[in-house]
Amino acid sequence: MFRNVAELVEMANSQNKPISEIMIEQEVEVTGKTREQIIAQMETNLTVMEQAVERGLNGVVSHSGLTGGDAVLLQAYIKKGNFLTGEVILDAVSKAVATNEVNAAMGMICATPTAGSAGVVPGTLFAVKNKLNPTREQMLNFLFTSGAFGFVVANNASISGAAGGCQAEVGSAAGMAAAAIVEMAGGTPEQSAHAMAITLKNMLGLVCDPVAGLVEVPCVKRNAMGAANAMVAADMALAGITSRIPCDEVIDAMYRIGLSMPTALRETGQGGLAATPTGRRLEAEIFGNAAAGK
């Protein structure tokens, strides 16, 4: 059983197995379920992700009215063909947004690793699907690989915005996605670890400051940027670029940064964007003046 990224990579290399396979075997050992049961459970998760992306791309609006429709706008923009970045990145961004718009509209999503960060992993998966044409098994392996890195973060740091800020939620999700993209693209376990490290390093210190206390603003767009971050970090790692700071040390740094964050910047809606004049006005419009004056 692995406890950190270094052990995960070492196990994958010494056993000549991909990270996804190491994670499947660990799940079998820890849960006592059969391999078939573990894979069937992940198949269910994948189906939920697919349905959420599809629903979001068809257009949804949250009950508060704060979010909705941006995934549709991005897909329309992509179709025009005059985008400035890249089609795969924008597709990942739109599908990440789609998933979180469904979450904001009280739809069913798969927490990866949390509901507030649920867009990054499926957003990148279904974008690279169109590029790499993976089998269904490879798509499931993508989720197992992302889960392996999420397992390390959850057990050595935090995946909770209330405990560690948005770096712990969207930051972790983006790192998980980057590592999984690398494996699907044929990269090594070491490259997956570097992709995770590169991604997370560039999201350290990200605060959790939901406007009106809702998982909408800025959460949906942070998933968009997390997806873009993951895609670029994966490309960097596949190009042979490495993180000077080992992945486990980056995760530990995130944990320590989270501990030092003021309470106002950890999901309480008391600081950051939530405390701006517009943030307070939106809160008052949604919940009434008494809530905004707290």
Extract the residue ranges of the chain whose pLDDT is less than 50.
Answer: 292-294
pLDDT in the model for residue 186: 98
* 3-class SS string, 62-75: CCCCCCECHHHHHH
Residue type, 208: C
CATH number, position 62 = 1.10.4100
How many structural domains does the chain have?
1
Residue-range definition of the domain harbouring residue 283: 5-292
Distance in angstroms (rounded) separating the CA atoms of residues 95 and 224: 8
Distance in angstroms (rounded) separating the CA atoms of residues 274 and 282: 9
122 prior amide bond cis, ω within 30? no
Q: How many residues in total does the chain contain?
A: 294
Q: Say how many C-beta atoms besides its own lie within 10 A of residue 268's C-beta.
A: 18
Q: Say how many C-beta atoms besides its own lie within 10 A of residue 58's C-beta.
A: 11
pLDDT in the model for residue 289: 61
- Record the tokens describing residue 126, joined without a space: 């279904």
